[in-house]
C-alpha cells in the first residue's frame, strides 16, 4: 500500500485520524485502523474516519446501500473505533468530518448552509457555521433519540442505574444523584464496565453525569471499543436526554461539559442537534509499512 494522506483533528478532545479517500481505494482493514490509532506506534486517535462518496463505498462493498435520503454523490462518514470495529455514528467525528470537507474545498456550499451526509446511523445534516483556519464551529442534526428503558452497568466496582438511549449507537446515560463535578472528576472511568447483555447485546457507551443544574451537566464517558475519551458526541446527546428526563422535562437546551470542552445539545420533540468546535491539528502522510513495528 502506498503512503496515505491524512489529517488529524478533534472535537472537544475526542480525536480522529481522517483519511480523504473519495473513491474508497484504501483497504481499510481492522489491522490498519488499529495501527493508525495506536498512540505509541502509530498516529494515535480515538477513531479513524474515511471521507468517501456514498456511491464509491457502495460499489466497493463497504456499505450495502445508500442510507435513505442520501445520494450517490453525497459524502459518507465511514467511521471506525480505535479497536478496528465499525461504528454507526460519532457526533464529534461528524463535526470534524464537516470541517475537513470545508477545508478541502469540497463542501459544495457556502458557510452556514446545511449539507446532507451519510452515516451508518442514517442520513445526517451538518452545518459548518464558520471556519477560521484550524478552528470551525459545526452543528449536526443528530436525529431523534430512541429512548429505551432503565438499565444498569458496573464500573470500578460501583453499580450505576441509567437510561438506555439509542443515537444510532447504544448508550446508557446515568444521572448520578448528588454527584458534583469534582466528584465526577475523581471517578475511575477508564476501566472496562460490565452491562446487561440482554439490554445491550452489541455493547454500550456508558455516560456518567451530574444532575441538570442551571441548564448544564458535567459528563464523563467510557466509549465502546475505545475506553475513556475526553468527549463523545452521541454520548453528550444521550446525556442531555437523560438529564432532561431526570429533571422532569422532555425537551430543552443543555450545555454539556466534558473533560475536552463544552458542547451545546438541543433536544426537541422530534429530534436533536449537537453544536460545538472542531479543530484540525495537522496534515501529513504515513507509510502503512512503518506502522507494523
Catalytic residues: 90, 232
Extract the C-alpha cell encoding 191: 476501566
Find out whether 293 and 21 touch, Cβ atoms under 8 Å.
no
Extract the C-alpha cell encoding 60: 466497493
Beta bridge pairs of residue 159: 154
- The whole-angstrom distance between residue 117's C-alpha and the CA centroid of its chain comes to 15
Distance CA 191, CA 179 (A): 19
Please provide residue 164's backbone torsions phi and psi, each rounded to the nearest 5 degrees.
-75, 125
DSSP conformation letters of 189-248: -SSPPEE-TTT-TT--EEEEEPPPBTTEEEEEEEETTTEEES--HHHHHHHHHHHHHHTT
Distance CA 3, CA 159 (A): 46
Distance CA 290, CA 286 (A): 8
Amino acid at each position: 500500500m502506498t503512503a496515505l494522506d491524512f489529517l488529524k483533528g478533534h472535537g472537544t478532545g475526542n480525536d480522529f485520524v481522517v483519511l480523504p479517500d473519495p473513491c474508497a481505494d484504501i483497504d481499510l482493514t481492522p489491522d490498519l485502523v488499529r495501527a493508525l490509532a495506536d498512540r505509541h506506534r502509530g498516529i494515535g486517535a480515538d477513531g479513524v474516519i474515511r471521507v468517501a462518496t456514498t456511491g464509491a463505498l457502495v460499489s466497493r462493498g463497504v456499505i450495502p446501500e445508500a442510507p435513505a435520503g442520501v445520494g450517490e454523490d453525497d459524502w459518507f462518514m465511514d467511521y471506525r473505533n480505535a479497536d478496528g470495529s465499525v461504528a454507526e455514528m460519532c457526533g464529534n467525528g461528524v463535526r470534524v468530518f464537516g470541517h475537513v470537507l470545508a477545508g478541502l474545498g469540497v463542501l459544495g456550499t457556502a458557510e452556514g448552509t446545511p449539507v446532507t451526509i451519510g452515516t451508518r446511523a442514517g442520513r445526517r445534516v451538518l452545518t459548518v457555521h464558520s471556519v477560521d483556519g484550524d478552528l470551525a464551529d459545526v452543528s449536526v442534526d443528530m436525529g431523534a433519540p430512541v429512548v429505551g428503558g432503565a438499565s444498569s452497568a458496573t464500573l470500578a466496582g460501583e453499580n450505576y442505574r441509567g437510561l438506555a438511549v439509542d443515537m444510532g449507537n447504544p448508550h446508557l446515560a446515568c444521572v448520578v444523584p448528588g454527584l458534583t463535578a469534582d466528584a465526577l472528576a475523581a471517578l475511575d472511568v477508564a476501566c472496562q464496565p460490565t452491562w446487561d447483555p440482554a439490554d445491550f447485546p452489541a455493547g454500550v457507551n456508558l455516560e456518567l453525569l451530574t444532575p441538570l443544574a442551571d441548564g448544564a451537566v458535567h459528563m464523563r464517558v467510557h466509549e465502546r471499543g475505545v475506553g475513556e475519551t475526553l468527549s463523545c458526541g452521541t454520548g453528550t446527546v444521550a446525556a442531555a436526554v437523560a438529564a432532561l428526563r431526570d429533571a422532569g422535562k422532555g425537551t430543552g437546551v443543555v450545555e454539556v461539559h466534558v473533560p475536552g470542552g463544552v458542547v451545546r445539545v438541543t433536544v426537541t420533540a422530534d429530534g436533536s442537534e449537537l453544536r460545538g468546535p472542531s479543530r484540525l491539528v495537522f496534515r501529513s502522510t504515513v507509510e502503512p509499512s512503518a506502522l507494523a513495528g
